[in-house]
Amino acid sequence: MPKRRIVSLWFHRLGAERFLRRQGQLCDQVFAVVEDLGQMQVLSSLSERASQEGLQKGQPLRDAQAMCPQLLTRLRNRQAEELFLKGLARWAGKFSPWVAIEPTESLMLDITGCAHLFGGEKGMVAQISQETGDLGLSLCTGVADTPGAAWGLARYGGQGPEAQRSGDAIDQEARATRSRAAKRRHWERGGAPPKAISSA
């Protein structure tokens, strides 16, 4: 029986890039998505340029505007983001018949027995990265023996095909950092082509 292998796909700019795909004039701007948190608004997702300006996710909007007066913002639409991630899950089904959504910015793929169809794990991850780049999306990946290890590698192990290793050494640490991840994972079948992804 083949050893289980899991790929974690973390779309760490999903909220901002969902807007940038639709409103191309924002691509060269310092841009962020904001959401209400208590009595204030905070940054929930940043464009690459916003990060380069030193802005941070979770930062109060008024502080961000003081740091970067040219900041442009849009209000977060959680439902639209969820639908967009579901569209990405359907697309990811071309790489594995088992895809799980990890709210609010991630997908988990069980690629056990699938990677050879794409030239191995590195080939598969390279194709995933290429296609998501073509879709205008930033991506961090992690490949490991367990979901927890893959999740940790996607966030802390670097980007691209190099973020691959056995999960035993880091699984315990990764689990400890997943306080905001879903309690249960629902694997679903998918397979829609990239063009079917909704940008609503």
Angle at which helices 78-92 and 14-22 pack, to 10 degrees? 90
Q: pTM of this prediction?
A: 0.80
Distance CA 149, CA 171 (A): 4
Is the pLDDT at 171 greater than 60? The verdict is: no
pLDDT band at 23 (very low <50, low <70, confident <90, very high): confident
pLDDT band at 160 (very low <50, low <70, confident <90, very high): very low
31 token code pair: 């841009």
The domain defined by 6-13+79-196 carries CATH number 3.30.70: yes
What's the pLDDT score for residue 27?
Answer: 83
The H helix count followed by the E strand count for the chain is 7, 8
Q: What's the whole-number average pLDDT of the chain?
A: 85
Please state which CATH class domain 16-76 belongs to: alpha beta
pLDDT band at 193 (very low <50, low <70, confident <90, very high): very low
**Which of 119, 117, 175 is closest to 144 using CA atoms?**
175
Distance CA 158, CA 165 (A): 12
Where along the chain do its domains lie? 6-13+79-196, 16-76
Kindly list the distances between the CA atom of residue 139 and the CA atoms of 63, 69, 113, 142, in Å, as whole numbers in the listed order. Answer: 27, 28, 23, 10
Distance CA 134, CA 68 (A): 29
Q: Considering only 108-117, 129-138, 171-180, which range has the smallest mean pLDDT?
A: 171-180
What's the pLDDT score for residue 189?
Answer: 59
pLDDT band at 185 (very low <50, low <70, confident <90, very high): low
